[in-house]
Amino acid sequence: MMQNVIIGQYIPADSLIHRMDPRSKLIAVFIFVLIVFLANNWLSYSLLGIFTIGTAAISKVPFSYLLKGLKPIFWIVLFTVILHLFMTKEGPVLLDLGWAKIHEGGLVKGVFIAFRLFFLILLTSLLTLTTTPIDITDGLENLLAPLKRLKFPVHEFALMMSISLRFIPTLMQETEKIMKAQSARGAEFSSGPIQQRIKAFVPLLIPLFISAFKRAEDLALAMEARGYRGGEGRTKLRLLQWKMRDSFCLFSMGVLIVALVIFRS
Amino acid sequence: MELSTEQVSHLYNKGTPMERRALYDVSIKIPSGSFYAIIGHTGSGKSTLIQHLNGLLKPTSGSVYAGETTIRSDEKAKRLRDVRKRVGMVFQYPEHQLFEETIEKDICFGPRNFGASEQKAKRKAKETLQLVGLNEEFLQRSPFELSGGQMRRVAIAGVLAMEPDVLILDEPTAGLDPSGQKEMMELFATLREQKKITIILVTHSMEDAARYAEQIVVMARGSIYMQGKPAEIFQQKEKLHEIGLDVPEAIQFIKALEKQFNIKLPKAFTVEEVVEVVRSILKVGTTP
Ligand SMILES: Nc1ncnc2c1ncn2[C@@H]1O[C@H](COP(=O)(O)OP(=O)(O)OP(=O)(O)O)[C@@H](O)[C@H]1O
Ligand SMILES: [Mg+2]
């Protein structure tokens, strides 16, 4: 179960996507999240599909791995598709079940929504799969820097994010470990009636919370011991470098936007 | 209950870029009532191997036999319950698994899951708490206000209360003070003698392995590297050095004595035995 969650994992590899500046990746993903909503016909959706699959191919992250990461959201997608299938009343009736009619428009919309969700999840997971948490934080801090003038705590926000990202895999490992320890004492997590299963999570959650709090405390102490005082006057060991490929990435996002605007109906 | 594995291999994160092979064709047989120690460098697959013995991990290929039950990669989880009850497992840092309000409730968790009545579970809680060296007053206290070593004892009591036939211990004494370590090890040895429990001990302490185990299994890079009686294993100093392990200090001491004075001495694995050997030399007056 835990092995299917791929958000927050980083897969080291040497690919164009891995080498890109985190800022360009962040901007690109942000733009992508917005323009996904521009697509509204087969042509524009195919365009998005080609773009997403192309990016995944360049990133050298195995497709089988990405597909596995999509598994947990499969039910959510299915649910939205079914909802659209029955709720949309456009176009000719394809199927009359008596108590409900399925219209062509509903089918098309359902399929589109499914693709939209898959593209979104795929591209956002590609961001974390190809960028180390530190890079994401640096990039974000850099991009949000103008907000400092509005007294928005950019540095703290970025730090919080990187710590959360950093600890997702640790938390999963911990979860697995405690699940095993409690299973050895006869706890059942994956079978039995639903009330029992909910109750079975208490022996998992309490140790998990305790260790998470303890870890947070330790981390805070370690940071303080090393003289951490927030972002004021802090310099960076690794500077972000904007290269040709990053400009090219943004350029191709621009092309994608124009193409979508032209092809959408 | 006899435990054995046949050509067990295990892959972690199978089918992902992080795929990692932790065991290669491991075959081992642990007879009922024996005391086995598993030693090996960190990352050699010790924890992975023992988690197969009660079905917490399933082999990627090969089979595990626990009593009458066979565990293979396609086995359903239902039949594993009986194995889990009979093969108790104490993990590294078991204190992380405590969760109940009171120590009594926490110890009862295992027995209750395996169908013991409340009365019986409570009785077992009292008994096992005493076994691990804590008195009855602790029963109603919260496990979270204990010291690390006391928490460890409570966690171990929680496994003992299930009355397992086999007790698997993954570095049970790591992080305890020296006297606490010794007490724990003595407790396991006593349990084996009195209740005929099979003990499988994973340890980094060559001294403990030499002193308590009947059989030692040495693991390296996911395979069994050597297996035999402590005397046989610790004779092969060079072979152990190759995988970064050392022989107990007592044996090193005797070896050094033998070399220095060019004499042959009886075997000694523990400090007490060394003292005996040295005393006997002095008494007999064969000092060169
Ligand atoms: N949950 C896991 N996911 C992925 N790989 C793992 C996992 N647990 C262990 N491994 C890997 O399997 C190998 C064997 O690990 P194992 O925990 O069995 O070693 P060990 O002999 O118990 O070491 P130690 O003495 O440090 O406890 C190691 O290389 C480790 O990195
Ligand atoms: Mg281990």
Please give the average pLDDT of every successive group of 10 residues along chain A, which has 265 residues.
Answer: 61 90 94 91 92 92 83 85 84 78 85 90 89 86 88 86 82 90 86 77 90 91 87 78 91 93 87
pLDDT of residue B19: 84
CATH number at residue B224: 3.40.50.300
- At B271, list the tokens: 């400090």
Residues of A in contact with B94 (CB under 8 A): 181
pLDDT at B76 over 80: no
Say yes or no: B240 and B252 in one domain: no
pLDDT of residue A106: 85
Say yes or no: B220 and B276 in one domain: no
Higher pLDDT, B9 or A229: B9
Asked if A65 has any chain B CB less than 8 Å from its own CB, the reply is: yes
For residue A176, give the ligand nearest its CA: 1
Residues B23-65 have pLDDT tens digits of 999 999 999 999 999 999 999 999 999 999 988 899 999 999 9
Asked if A64 has any chain B CB less than 8 Å from its own CB, the reply is: yes
User: How far is A165 from A122, CA to CA, in rounded Å?
Assistant: 17
User: Considering only CA atoms, which residue is closest to atom 30 of ligand 1?
Assistant: B43
Pairs of residues, one from chain A and one from chain B, whose beta carbons lie less than 8 Å apart: 69
Residues of A in contact with B106 (CB under 8 A): none
For residue B19, give the ligand nearest its CA: 1
Say yes or no: B38 and B64 in one domain: yes
Report the domain count for chain B. 2
User: How far is A142 from A135, CA to CA, in rounded Å?
Assistant: 10
| CA nearest to B88, candidates B121, B122, B51, B130 | B51
pLDDT of residue A172: 87
Residues of A in contact with B160 (CB under 8 A): none
| Residue A63, C-beta contacts closer than 8 angstroms, at least 6 positions apart | A56
User: Considering only CA atoms, which residue is closest to atom 16 of ligand 1?
Assistant: B45
User: How far is B183 from A221, CA to CA, in rounded Å?
Assistant: 34
Q: Do B84 and A186 touch (CB under 8 A)?
A: yes
Instruction: Specify the DSSP element, H or E, that contains B230.
Output: helix B230-235
| CA nearest to B221, candidates B37, B28, B5, B42 | B42
Please indicate, yes or no, whether the overall pTM of this predicted structure exceeds 0.80.
Answer: no
Whether residue B215 is contained in a domain is answered as yes
Average pLDDT, chain B: 89
Out of B13, B51, B112, closest to residue A3 by CB: B13
Q: Do A186 and B89 touch (CB under 8 A)?
A: no
Is A159 in contact with A187 (CB distance < 8 Å)? no
User: Distance, CA B48 to ligand 1 centroid (Å)?
Assistant: 6
User: How far is A101 from A118, CA to CA, in rounded Å?
Assistant: 26
pLDDT of residue A1: 42
pLDDT of residue A125: 87
Which residue on chain B is closest to A203 by alpha carbon?
B99
pLDDT of residue A3: 54
Q: Mind telling me how many Å the CA of B212 is from chain A's nearest CA?
A: 25
- At A189, list the tokens: 């997590």
> Scanning the structure block, which residue is given the tokens 């870890």?
A215
Q: Do B159 and A182 touch (CB under 8 A)?
A: no
- At B115, list the tokens: 């169908």
pLDDT of residue B229: 92
- What is the ipTM, given to two decimal places? 0.85
Residues of A in contact with B110 (CB under 8 A): 185-186
Say yes or no: B5 and B65 in one domain: yes
Q: What residues make up the domain containing B252? A: 248-288
Whether residue B214 is contained in a domain is answered as yes
Three-point CA angle A57, A62, A65, nearest 5°? 130
Is A203 in contact with B109 (CB distance < 8 Å)? yes
- At A64, list the tokens: 């089988």
| Mean pLDDT of the region B92-115 | 91
Is A70 in contact with A121 (CB distance < 8 Å)? yes
In this structure, the residues whose C-beta lies within 6 A of any atom of ligand 1 are B 12-13, 20, 22, 40, 42-48
- The alpha carbon of residue A25 and the mean position of all alpha carbons in its chain are separated, in whole angstroms, by 13
Asked if A14 has any chain B CB less than 8 Å from its own CB, the reply is: no
pLDDT of residue B69: 86
Q: Do A203 and B162 touch (CB under 8 A)?
A: no
Asked if A254 has any chain B CB less than 8 Å from its own CB, the reply is: no
Greatest pairwise CA separation for chain A in angstroms: 71
What is the rounded radius of gyration, in angstroms, for the C-alpha atoms of chain A? Answer: 23
Q: How confident is the model at residue B287 (pLDDT cuts 50, 70, 90)?
A: low
User: How far is B82 from B72, CA to CA, in rounded Å?
Assistant: 16
Residues B151-190 have pLDDT tens digits of 999 999 999 999 999 999 999 988 888 888 888 899 999 9
Whether residue B173 is contained in a domain is answered as no
Is B234 in contact with B242 (CB distance < 8 Å)? no
Q: What is the DSSP letter of B55?
A: T
Say yes or no: B213 and B262 in one domain: no
Residues of A in contact with B88 (CB under 8 A): 184
Q: How confident is the model at residue B111 (pLDDT cuts 50, 70, 90)?
A: very high
Q: List, as one string, the DSSP characters of chain A.
A: -GGG--TT-------HHHHS-HHHHHHHHHHHHHHGGG--SHHHHHHHHHHHHHHHHHHT--HHHHHHHHGGGHHHHHHHHHHHHHH---SSEEEE-SS-EEEHHHHHHHHHHHHHHHHHHHHHHHHHHHS-HHHHHHHHHHHHGGGGGGT--HHHHHHHHHHHHHHHHHHHHHHHHHHHHHHHTT--SSSS-HHHHHHTTHHHHHHHHHHHHHHHHHHHHHHHHTT---STT---SS-----HHHHHHHHHHHHHHHHHHHH--
Q: Do A203 and B16 touch (CB under 8 A)?
A: no
Q: How confident is the model at residue B195 (pLDDT cuts 50, 70, 90)?
A: confident
- At A240, list the tokens: 């972000």
Q: Residue ranges of the domains in chain A?
A: 1-131+240-265
Whether residue B133 is contained in a domain is answered as no
Find which of A18, A185, A197 to mutate to test the B interface (most B CBs within 10 Å of its CB): A185
Whether residue B15 is contained in a domain is answered as yes
| CA nearest to B88, candidates B152, B160, B29 | B160
- At A6, list the tokens: 């791929």
